[in-house]
Amino acid sequence: MVQNTPQKEAFFPFLEEDLPDIVRGHEIWVEHGMQNVSPGNPVACDLCFGHNMKSDKAVQVEKVTPAVSGTWGKNHAVEVSAAENHLLMQFTPAFEGYHTIGVEYDGGILNLPHSGLEGPKYYQQYTKTIILVGYCQVGNCQTEENNQTDYDLMLGHELEIIPLGYRQYKVGEHILLKILYDRHALPDATVYGIYVGNQENPIEVTTDQEGMVDIELEKGGKWMFKVGHRDPEKGVKGLYDKKVMTATFTIMDVGENIWK
């Protein structure tokens, strides 16, 4: 995502609304209301497109590539269809464990005739969320085939947010996130923590040299974490001068802490 800074907003001699949504700060994210999911039960998720968890419209189905990876490394087929202002993604888990739903959105090449945005750029976005099926816990999942396994939360997206020690979170707890770019730690990147109520002024934390950030979950309910990155080294001569990427990660069920 292109994070608009005050300097850029003052410099642009045109209205922000004139820009394509993906350029002026829109990103994709996944929402769901799934609880107490059992193997064999259909799972439905919404792929939203907007800004800071304010859904705007649906992206084109043919531009998204969804995937689901489960605790045992098996992939599930995902059906994608268009809804009123989002895309609907559905799959049926066959076993217990944490399931990561990931999506790549190919925004394509945009060449805008605006001051400050000269030159074509390639826009690519990534998102993911995690759904628990059954009562399996990370690091302690058992089936007839596997006595125990650790769940790899990395999907391998070009830009990716990895929750370390992922669990069912409560208000007041901290979430530790690692930002990877091309599977390597991304230092000095701004990570935004967003929930309903702080969308105009989200939490901002900068990654350390290990690509890590620590964010306190100060409110219950839905959270989205977001990071953007630009890479001129991935420009292709004659096509575009840099690649512009955004990654998001969502948690739908931060619970209230009854002990506070």
State which of 13-17, 65-69, 236-240 shows the largest mean pLDDT: 236-240
User: Which whole number is the average pLDDT over 88-117?
Assistant: 88
Residue 7 pLDDT more than 50? Answer: no
Q: Is residue 260 part of a domain?
A: no
Predicted TM-score (pTM) of this structure: 0.86
Residue 128 in contact with residue 30, Cβ under 8 Å? Answer: yes
Q: Is residue 248 part of a domain?
A: yes
Torsion sign, CA atoms 69, 70, 74, 79: negative
Which range among 107-111, 174-178, 214-218 shows the weakest confidence by mean pLDDT?
107-111
* Bridge partner residues of 30 (DSSP): 47
Whole-number Å distance between alpha carbons of 225 and 252: 12
Residue 260 pLDDT more than 60? Answer: no
Q: Is residue 259 part of a domain?
A: no
Identify the three-state secondary structure at position 7. Answer: helix
User: Which whole number is the average pLDDT over 99-113?
Assistant: 92
- For the chain, the average pLDDT equals 85
Quick one: tokens of 49? Answer: 């497109």
Domain assignment of residue 228, given as a range: 6-254
CATH number of the domain bearing residue 52: 2.60.40.10
> Of the candidates 219, 181, 178, which has an alpha carbon nearest to the alpha carbon of residue 202?
219
Residue 69 in contact with residue 155, Cβ under 8 Å? Answer: yes
Please count the structural domains in the chain: 1
Residue 78 in contact with residue 66, Cβ under 8 Å? Answer: yes
- What pLDDT score was predicted for residue 138? 47
| 163-176 tens-digit pLDDT | 998 988 999 999 99
Side chain identity, residue 176: L
- What pLDDT score was predicted for residue 173? 96
Q: Is residue 1 part of a domain?
A: no
* Bridge partner residues of 65 (DSSP): 104
Residue 32 in contact with residue 46, Cβ under 8 Å? Answer: yes
